[in-house]
Every structure is written in structure tokens, then in C-alpha cells.
Chain A
Amino acid sequence: GNSVTQMEGPVTLSEEAFLTINCTYTATGYPSLFWYVQYPGEGLQLLLKATKADDKGSNKGFEATYRKETTSFHLEKGSVQVSDSAVYFCALRGDYKLSFGAGTTVTVRA
């Protein structure tokens, strides 16, 4: 079956630091890949997505590239802000269903 593994947190960073959250997946076929973000007290919001190999999704300074050869979709941001503190979920959609990773809690300190 489909599954997603993402790096465990929590992750604590200082403002302007570089952020990477690793995500790897197992899937049959050609899944679409997503990063969702959950800010404190809110539901999940789509951050970015990629639908085929070598696609790069980007939004709000975050980027992730769909790497089929390494089955990865790592999330990166070059300079984080306090407002980026949130829980980040990697997900894939194989057929109709989203499969989520466990989530990574990121805290950015001023």
C-alpha cells in the first residue's frame, strides 16, 4: 500500500535559518505529492504540490521537488520566520485517498 515517512520532530530553529524536512514515500504508480501546513488552532492548508516527476512545487518561500529516483519530496525554505511555526505534513495521493506522514512540528524562535 501507499505510505509516507517524514522526519520526526520537533524541530526548533532561529529566525532566518534554513529549514529542511525530509519526506520519502512508497507507492504504486505515479502519485501526486503534497505538503500541508497546520498553524496553531487551525485546520490543514495546502502549502504546495507536485503531480509528476521532477516537478517543483513552491509557495510562500517553501519549495519541494518530486524525485522519483529517490522517492522523495523534501521541503525546504531558505530563511524561516517566526510565522512559519506550524506542523508540516507530507502526503501523497495514489488513487482517491490521501496518505499522510506523521507530521513535523517546527518552532521558529526570534
Chain B
Amino acid sequence: DVKVTQSSRYLVKRTGEKVFLECVQDMDHENMFWYRQDPGLGLRLIYFSYDVKMKEKGDIPEGYSVSREKKERFSLILESASTNQTSMYLCASSFSLDTDTQYFGPGTRLTVL
């Protein structure tokens, strides 16, 4: 079974802090994704990566950056956290971009005070 793990289930940070969310997948998938999930809005894509060191903006990249130094690991970075970034963050991975299912991690509930 594909396993996607995220470094924290719950995280509380203060406004202005730099925040790192880590995601690791164990299936040698080429593609990795970061979404945020908000009530009534579903999931919205922040960034994705289709190869090591490669990244593309999703629908809502403002205020976020990403890093993919190794194939199995994809990090989401909030350079200066703000209260409107309080949300559930979900990481996903897939083997191919155009035909394969995405597999999701359990999510990180981030609260910015």
C-alpha cells in the first residue's frame, strides 16, 4: 500500500513565524501535491512538484513556497505565517500526472495565533 506521511497532525504557531510542513511518500511517486482544506471550499491546490527540484504553482500559491530536494520528500513553507493560513493541510502523491490516482496523507491541522 502507498503510504504518505506528514510530520505533524497538529501544529500551533504564532503570526510571523516561519513554518515548515513535511511530507514523505514511500512509493517512488514522481508527483507530489500540497492542498489546503477549508469548510465549504473543499480542497484547493497550493503547489505541486513533478520531479526533484521542480515545482509549479497551483490555484492559491500566495504566501507559500515549497521545496523538493529528494524524490520522496516535499515540504511546504510558510515564510511568515498569518492567521488566514489557519487550515488543514493535505499532502498527496501520484505516479503520473495525467492518469493516476492521488494518494493522500492524514493532514496537518495548523493554527496560527
Contact = CB atoms under 8 A, between A and B. Distances in A.
Nearest to B44: A100
Contacts, number: 47
B42 A101 contact: yes
B74 interface: no
A102 B42 contact: yes
B35 to A, nearest CB: 8
Given A49-B101, A98-B102, A102-B40, A43 B58 contact: no
Interface in A48-73: 49
Interface residues of B, number: 23
By secondary structure, the A interface counts as: strand
A85 to B, nearest CB: 17
A28 B4 CA distance: 31
A98 B101 CA distance: 10
Interface of B: 4, 31, 39-45, 48, 50, 58, 90, 92, 97-98, 101-107
Interface of A: 4, 34, 36, 41-46, 49, 89, 91, 93, 95-98, 100-103
